[in-house]
Structure 1
């Protein structure tokens, strides 16, 4: 495990980059959502197996984790809970758009996650931590408002209360994922991150396969053909996301649970940066550029406050 706070913060920044970047592969994979999601879950599981193999090689003592059924069960439960929340959030995005659903869902998850994890482990300056979190949430909603202005006509056409409801429920569910995972790693009979990641990934894969079975008729009636490139992009998305999860778990011991959750959830703004500079989503909407600049500056300020909260605890 990592015991250096600067190294832990670096790991959390890597996690933020991973969680804010995996969706790029979804845009590149020209397949239906359900097919992408199944392959994406397989990618997460493959990455978890690699982590497990590294653990067996470098930390032989972790073999004893196989007997800790309660802790493994919590990690698996976290995977099931995360997948349920993530699927609801995806539904919300399809109904009301990313600019509305994503900030609501992730914003609620961020606030709830930091509160629950701080209560469990108050290891940072509460004023700096929550001021930083509030600043990050402000940045997320500034970005959301810029997206709303860009897509105003689309939202008017397909806005839906049920979509907002899905986003709220998704946020409430996702806010508990990190806390459940941390229980598996802090119980008296706890497991290491090398074991928690595979158990989590198995929960994701298991629930995704159930989802695939529910939608099996869509596969039978679909004329969609196998595309190696799209399959590769889908798997890569899962590998990248699971790498982010691993970095969060390895860095959480030194950084603390609340700080780890706050920094990693800042991935929303990383995704926004990709949208602006890679996908040119705002190239024709220059009126939103000052808002985007304000959001990014607020985001950096919020991250700085969250990081500094450790030194003033």
Structure 2
């Protein structure tokens, strides 16, 4: 049986997927934004995906995790950005337009406001305009992924708040935006395919990270971000999941439980490593 693998259609996922076919993968790739992949994963329409950490926290009983891998930042992430006309500590009461693409980033913003700045996020309701248009008109808005990278290049916002940097400033820990999440049915029915995929994924990632400028020259994203800038963006990311990353994710989950964004503290269910 072939695996059905979700692919977040953002530049930060390129190192995972660029060499995957050359590493031997012959399954099905389903691209989408994090919210779409969360829904496909929850319904069992894909077997695994680099997907929202918050999705795992919300439904951890139905999932497993590939060990050792994540999409994280140890400081600025550059692609999870709040654009505003005010400093972050002056945002109390300011309506913020939210992208619907990522529950992890939205809840990170909520937790930053509640835990470290002492006010609830005022979320803009009935928002019918693209977030980019609200920002261009002087409003505040959260963008993630390639939309955030592009907006940062042209935005005239007075303040651009990098949520990865804010998390690092207040906790000194990595922030884990995405994990490789596996549906429990795939763990039962496709154990052999998952073991093969783990090897292929590590081969693909290792090859990509060995020469980021070469990867950048071969990637379509360099046409709008630039070769050097794209390579620097990947270099700022962390694709590991170490004990230190786990501490950062546990802190996020703990705060989510404290502020009633999650009902309970999730447990970590790892697929057995083949490495």
TM-score, length basis structure 1 = 0.27
The answer to which structure, 1 or 2, has the higher relative contact order (CA under 8 A, 6+ apart) is: 1
Structure with higher helix content: 1
Structure with higher strand content: 2
Q: Which has the larger radius of gyration?
A: 1
